[in-house]
Amino acid sequence: MEIINFLSSHADLKLDASFKDITTIKLGGPIKYLVSPFDMNRLKVIVSFLKEYAIPFKVVGRGSNLVCGSKTYEGCVILLEHINHYHFEDDNLIYVESGMVIPRLCNTLAKLGYSGLEFASGIPGNLGGLVYMNAGAYKKEMSDIVKEVLVLEDGEFRWLKKEECEFSYRHSIFHERRDVIILAAKLKLEKKPSDDIKELIADRLARRRATQPLDKPSCGSCFKNPDGDFAWRLIDGVGMRGYCYNGIEVSNKHPNFIVNTGHAKGEDFVATLNLVKAKVLDKYGINLREEVEIFNC
């Protein structure tokens, strides 16, 4: 009861939540504690409390890149949905907090005439998740516009310069430093006519709808593209397009998407993921690297 009272005094608390509720692929088991801290300072207090009581915890954004197992997570999942503010620091530099939903931010920036984030307009994540993954599309990625990142580390707030984040293809230093929580970032944008930005966003979204299975729960692209090739081509080449297993399907529309067609489990997703990897390795000698995160599985 002490834990429940403490958490509920600093955050919205749910005790009957599931990873199915907070991931875009709609997979995963029950969560013991699900909290949404009211602000950064409350987050800091909660993290300190959880560490003191040796309660495991995981920070989750929009869950758009996360696949979870069906067993109960006996810890605390932290959402940053209330940490979602933004403001301009000068004409072209914007401060954005981790919980800001990217499509919403893109539309806001388009109306204001700020360009630079259009490539991410169709990614159903939040700012923190995109920085963590150095997410990208259309030959652009977050490291092209990120200047600084605000983190919570060892109980303190600190700013990291872009160079300290060690961005690379779909990777950042935060993959290794899991104890560091991304709270906000400063993005460098440029002014352009609002109509031009809106037109580009509309074009990007139309291309996504035409080529990706957006009608089914998924976590987006499952594998990183190997050097000089495309993951979807390799998956297609081993005959896995359209493969189905226990409600999990390698998409007919885009084979680098593995979708949930029914009452699947995270374990079914992982089994399919591993089968795809094994077939590609056997035929092409290429070890595909996952873009998705597997957790509690």
Judge whether residue 199 has pLDDT over 70: yes
The token duo for 297 is 């599985």
**CB 158, CB 151: distance < 8 Å:** yes
Nearest to 266 by CA among 66, 129, 75, 74: 66
pTM for the whole structure = 0.94
Alpha helices in the chain (DSSP H): 2-10, 19-22, 40-52, 102-112, 127-133, 194-211, 231-237, 266-284
**DSSP classification of residue 167:** -
Mean pLDDT of all residues in the chain? 96
Decide if pLDDT at 274 tops 80. Answer: yes
- DSSP line for 115-174: ES-GGGTT---BHHHHHHHT-EETTEEGGGTEEEEEEEETTEEEEEEGGGG--BTTB-GG
Split at pLDDT 50, 70, 90, the class of 262 is confident
136-148: pLDDT as tens digits: 988 899 999 999 9
Query: Residue 229 corresponds to which tokens in the numbers above?
Result: 């090739």
CATH code matching the domain that covers 86-211, chosen among 3.40.50.280, 3.30.465.10, 2.40.30.10, 3.30.2310.20? 3.30.465.10
- Identify the pLDDT of residue 1: 63
Q: What distance in Å separates the CA atoms of residue 157 and residue 150, rounded to the nearest whole number?
A: 7
Of the chain, the percentage scoring pLDDT greater than 90 comes to 95
Asked if 23 contacts 259 with a C-beta cutoff of 8 angstroms, the reply is no
CATH 3.30.413.10 applies to domain 231-295: no
- The reported pLDDT for the residue numbered 238 is 98
Query: 97, 170, 218, 249: which is the annotated catalytic residue?
Result: 170
The conformation of residue 288, written as its DSSP 8-state character, comes to P
Give the rounded distance of the alpha carbon of 135 from its chain centre: 8
Q: Is the pLDDT of residue 263 over 90?
A: no
Output the pLDDT for position 84: 97
User: How high is the pLDDT of residue 47?
Assistant: 98
Mean pLDDT (whole number) for 271-290 = 98
Residue 221 known to be catalytic: yes
| Catalytic residue selected from 36, 70, 218, 221 | 221
Please report, for the chain, the start and end positions of each structural domain, with discontinuous segments joined by +: 2-79, 86-211, 231-295
18 classed as catalytic:
no
Residue 23: count of CB within 10 angstroms of its CB: 23
CATH of 2-79, one of 1.10.10.60, 3.40.50.360, 3.90.1150.10, 3.30.43.10: 3.30.43.10
**CA 41 → CA 46, 118, 157, 233, distances in Å?**
9, 31, 10, 46
Give the position of tokens 């932290």.
Answer: 78
Q: Say whether 8 is catalytic.
A: no
Q: Is the pLDDT of residue 69 over 90?
A: yes
Tens digit of each residue's pLDDT (9 = 90 or more) over 83-137: 999 999 988 999 999 999 999 999 999 999 999 999 999 999 999 999 999 999 8
Residue pLDDT, tens place only, 1-41: 699 999 999 999 999 899 999 999 999 999 999 999 999 99
pLDDT at 142: 97
pLDDT at residue 178, rounded to an integer = 85
Task: Collapse the DSSP code of 18 into the 3-class scheme (helix H, G, I; strand E, B; otherwise coil) and give the result.
Answer: strand
Residue 196 CA: distances (Å) to CA of 6, 118, 167, 203: 49, 11, 29, 11
